[in-house]
Amino acid sequence: MLKKHYPWLWFDADGTLFDYNRAEVNALQRTFESLSLHFETGYLDSYREINHRLWQALERQEIAPDVLRVRRFELLLENLGLDGSADEMSTAYVEQLGLCTDLIDGAYEVLSTLHQTSRIAIVTNGLQAVQRSRLAHSKIRDFISEIIISEEVGAAKPQPAFFDVAFARTGQPPKNNVLVIGDSLTSDIQGGVEYGMDTCWYNPASEARPDGLPITYEIRHIRDLLEFIE
């Protein structure tokens, strides 16, 4: 494969650079402990199902971030039959998640290499308090030129309005100078394709490639980026 230079690389955060699965379980357990609530490992599956469903609703513009932040814990407490404050749980969880800086294996090395020749942005649908805290505590912070967060801009991937802001914040480069890299077909890849930019689907689970979505690159490991980006 011939290598190509992209002056701008737009990376998703959760599940692409940051190990969100590990962060999620650690933050949830610490949240329960901080509120003196008993935690069982099975609670994680319930939380993930609820959280995933609500984030999909956010992508469809059916729910706002501030509502999602608390609603997921209202539903979790109801689902588990537990007494507690969803507001307190939400506050504690966001604080704990913002301290979880574990990276996907290889992410540090890849950004360390790529930032020497390209500028790097994080484009994320995550919550402002989580993303800014986590990046500030992370060893990749010096590699990042811009961070665009859906909660701050008032639109979420894959909405064109989100990409409009990201495009402006990165200096309105020619679209063929930008590569969008992410693990979500519905937000990262669909959004990038519809905005007219090259995309790279990070697909560590080797899921089936969908028909009708012109993905430019597909990788199994984040280090694979170095094979085609110069």
| Burial tier of 178 (Cβ tally within 10 Å: 0-12, 13-18, 19+) | buried
Please choose, from the candidates 81, 133, 110, 103, the residue with its C-alpha nearest in 3D space to the C-alpha of residue 17: 103
Please choose, from the candidates 85, 94, 84, 212, the residue with its C-alpha nearest in 3D space to the C-alpha of residue 151: 94
Please choose, from the candidates 118, 117, 127, the residue with its C-alpha nearest in 3D space to the C-alpha of residue 146: 118
**Long-range pairs, 196-202, Cβ under 8 A, ≥24:** 198/6, 200/225, 202/12, 202/15, 202/16
The active-site residue, picked from 12, 183, 188, 198, is: 12
Catalytic-residue membership of 83:
no
Q: What's the CA gap between 109 and 83, in Å, rounded?
A: 44
Q: What is the DSSP letter of 172?
A: -
Q: What's the CA gap between 211 and 229, in Å, rounded?
A: 25
Active site (catalytic) residues: 12
